[in-house]
Structure 1
């Protein structure tokens, strides 16, 4: 296992966080993150952003708002034709 360096760690960060890198690269990036505060902070920001976005995607708009938006889209579509 070797320190892959900041450039490699940051380039492959998203794949690393999604567990889409091979075991060797995963170990190298993990080791780098343990030793590099800057890359570790970047990983934390990426992980937090991903979690917040995932939570927000689970939220649904109120049915009344959905109906209003769909009605406006249909009206715009009719005018455009």
Structure 2
């Protein structure tokens, strides 16, 4: 493993927190975060913000809208 540096760790932080990067990059960023208090702080803020947004976004579409979307998807799939 190699320390990816603050700039790269911060640039890829959101993807890292959502597990949307390859395992090698994930390992490099994890290693950097373990050894960099400034980036640890930034990761903590980003993680806290992401969790707050996720908690606030538990709304569901009305049942009728959901059924209309599913029906339309089935029509499109049947046409192909």
TM-score norm. by structure 2 comes to: 0.71
Q: Name the counterpart of 2:30.
A: 30
The 5 Å alignment of 1:54-65 reads 54-58=54-58
Specify every segment of 5 or more residues in structure 1 that has no aligned partner in the other structure, as ranges. 61-81
Between the two proteins, the alignment pairs up a number of residues equal to: 60
- Cα RMSD (Å): 1.3
Deviations 1:22-81, CA, capped at 9 Å, x for gaps: 111000000000000000110010010000111111268xxxxxxxxxxxxxxxxxxxxx
Q: Name the counterpart of 1:14.
A: 14
Specify every segment of 5 or more residues in structure 2 that has no aligned partner in the other structure, as ranges. 61-80
Bigger radius of gyration: 1
TM-score norm. by structure 1 comes to: 0.70
Instruction: Find runs of 4+ consecutive structure 1 residues off by over 3 angstroms.
Output: none
CA distance in 2, matches of 1:50, 1:59: 16
CA distance in 2, matches of 1:10, 1:46: 10
Q: Name the counterpart of 2:71.
A: none
CA distance in 1, matches of 2:34, 2:3: 10
